[in-house]
């Protein structure tokens, strides 16, 4: 019985000892959770490197969005001022066309009636011109009255105006008045491309009727493309011609492209309080942008110098950022402490640090520390 009692007492003290040891270990871990120890051998093998905060130039930018576009002269909406039925549609979206190339053919009895009217007026005009000249001669010789002369003149001028108007309409329909005068009457009209470019829309099919208000085809010449950006009213006074622009096409590529402000609009869209900015794309001939692509852009309006660290020296943990600063060094080990950072502006390789006084003049692990953070569960 005494032996059992002695064993129980021994177990109690052992348990208490283990408890105190666990508490001590937890306390040490708590005290050292911001410290990372690196052996000199590990430092060398991982090619780690120390450095300090350094001055870097950062851009002050204005963020905006917009689209890829072309000048108005590089867009064409093809329509007809007299309706008709489509008899030929040889083109598809994406086809390249040249200025003057046949696009579609229309047919309408009204085309025939217009040519017949032109011939009738042309015949009448010949007689009315002779009558006008005759009345003019008689009037000058005091043989006829002024009333007869003015009537002949008015009738001739009215007929001449009608003749010229019909001739203009025929030319607009691509029907040759000379051919009509020779008796070559057609019921078909051809529509030709007004510009070089690519077909971007085809709104008709064979047999369909198109009215004068319908857009038959749309053509865009992409030889010169540009950015059309929307800048909020609060930012527009900072935008100047010649400023650098960096932009991306988020839905198509992660690549960053460059452009330059060319024109700044002088009116505000009352709906969204924005101003249009026109920008020229650098090396546009080497791109394959499509008109209408959405872009996200940053316009550089100024520059400033700030203390910064390389992005390789900055680590993230639980949405916080920190750096590893050298606390002490022995012959065999280096002791680093984690210092929380407040970051500001960014470049491709550097981040500016707002709380730079916390790490100023300290040696920072700027290279090779990534594996350390993984080993320590960061």
pLDDT digits (tens, 9 = 90+) for 140-160: 888 878 888 888 889 889 989
Q: Is the confidence at residue 77, as pLDDT, over 70?
A: yes
Assigned domain for 304 exists = yes
Confidence of residue 374 (pLDDT cuts 50, 70, 90): low
Q: Does residue 199 sit in the same domain as residue 287? A: no
Assigned domain for 95 exists = yes
Q: Does residue 275 sit in the same domain as residue 208? A: no
User: Would you give the DSSP letter of residue 276?
Assistant: E
Q: Does residue 215 sit in the same domain as residue 159? A: no
Cβ–Cβ < 8 Å for 351, 309: yes
Confidence of residue 14 (pLDDT cuts 50, 70, 90): very low
Assigned domain for 135 exists = yes
Mean pLDDT of 302-308: 90
Mean pLDDT of 287-291: 88
Assigned domain for 299 exists = yes
pLDDT tens for each residue of 131-140: 888 888 887 8
Q: Does residue 169 sit in the same domain as residue 129? A: yes
Phi, psi of 177 (to 5 degrees): -60, -35
Q: Does residue 235 sit in the same domain as residue 313? A: yes
Cβ–Cβ < 8 Å for 367, 312: yes
Domains identified in the chain, total number = 3
Q: With the C-alpha atoms ordered 63, 69, 70, 76, is the resulting torsion angle positive or negative? A: negative
Q: What is the pLDDT of residue 183?
A: 86
Assigned domain for 157 exists = yes
CA separation for the pair 176, 15 (Å, rounded): 112
Q: Does residue 84 sit in the same domain as residue 200? A: yes
H/E element, 161: helix 146-172
Query: Which of 159, 186, 213 is the last residue in one of the domains?
Result: 186
Mean pLDDT of 250-260: 90
Give 352's strand partners.
Answer: 308
Q: For residue 147, give its domain range.
A: 109-186
**Backbone torsion region of residue 326, taken as left when φ is above 0, otherwise alpha when ψ lies between -120 and 50, otherwise beta:** beta
Query: Which of 165, 186, 207 is the last residue in one of the domains?
Result: 186
Mean pLDDT of 341-349: 88
Mean pLDDT of 75-98: 91
Q: Does residue 63 sit in the same domain as residue 49? A: yes
Assigned domain for 298 exists = yes
Q: Does residue 244 sit in the same domain as residue 285? A: yes
Q: Does residue 247 sit in the same domain as residue 325? A: yes
Mean pLDDT of 303-311: 91
Q: Is the confidence at residue 297, as pLDDT, over 70?
A: yes
CA separation for the pair 338, 37 (Å, rounded): 11
Q: What is the pLDDT of residue 350?
A: 93
CATH number of the domain within which 273 lies? 2.40.30.170
Q: Does residue 364 sit in the same domain as residue 231? A: yes
Residue carrying structure tokens 């971007």: 200
Q: Does residue 261 sit in the same domain as residue 353? A: yes
| Least trusted range by pLDDT, from 47-61, 66-80, 136-150, 241-255 | 136-150
Q: What is the pLDDT of residue 375?
A: 56
Q: What is the pLDDT of residue 106?
A: 92
What is the average pLDDT score of the chain? 86
Q: Does residue 90 sit in the same domain as residue 139? A: no
Assigned domain for 309 exists = yes
Q: What is the pLDDT of residue 32?
A: 60
Q: Is the confidence at residue 24, as pLDDT, over 70?
A: no
């Amino acid at each position: 019985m005494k032996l059992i009692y002695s064993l129980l007492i021994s177990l109690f003290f052992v348990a208490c000892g283990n408890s105190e040891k666990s508490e001590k270990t937890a306390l040490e871990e708590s005290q050292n959770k911001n410290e990372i120890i690196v052996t000199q051998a590990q430092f060398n093998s991982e090619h780690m490197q120390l450095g300090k905060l350094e001055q870097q130039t950062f851009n002050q930018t204005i963020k905006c969005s917009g689209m890829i576009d072309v000048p108005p002269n590089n867009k064409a909406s093809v329509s007809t001022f007299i309706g008709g039925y489509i008899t030929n549609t040889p083109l598809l979206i994406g086809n390249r066309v040249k200025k003057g190339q046949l696009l579609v053919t229309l047919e309408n009895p009204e085309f025939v009636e217009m040519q017949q009217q032109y011939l009738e007026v042309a015949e009448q005009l010949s007689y009315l011109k002779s009558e006008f000249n005759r009345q003019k001669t008689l009037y000058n010789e005091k043989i006829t009255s002024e009333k007869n002369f003015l009537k002949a003149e008015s009738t001739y001028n009215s007929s001449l105006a009608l003749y010229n108007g019909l001739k203009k309409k025929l030319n607009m329909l691509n029907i040759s008045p000379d051919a009509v005068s020779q008796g070559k009457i057609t019921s078909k009209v051809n529509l030709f491309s007004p510009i070089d470019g690519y077909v971007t829309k085809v709104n008709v099919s064979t047999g369909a009727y198109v009215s004068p208000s319908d857009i038959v085809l749309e053509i865009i010449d992409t030889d010169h493309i540009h950015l059309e950006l929307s800048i909020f009213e609060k930012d527009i006074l900072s935008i100047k011609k010649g400023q650098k622009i960096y932009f991306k096409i988020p839905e198509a590529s992660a690549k960053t492209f460059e452009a330059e402000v060319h024109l700044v609009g002088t009116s505000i869209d009352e709906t969204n309080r924005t101003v249009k900015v026109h920008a020229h794309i650098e090396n546009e001939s080497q791109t394959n942008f499509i008109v209408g692509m959405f872009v996200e852009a940053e316009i550089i309006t100024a520059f400033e110098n700030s203390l910064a660290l390389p992005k390789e020296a900055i680590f993230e943990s639980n949405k916080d950022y920190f750096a590893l600063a050298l606390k002490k060094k022995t012959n065999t080990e280096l002791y680093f402490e984690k210092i929380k950072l407040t970051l500001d502006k960014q470049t491709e390789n550097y981040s500016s640090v707002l709380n730079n006084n916390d790490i100023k003049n300290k040696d920072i692990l700027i290279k090779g520390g990534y594996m350390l953070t993984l080993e320590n569960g960061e």
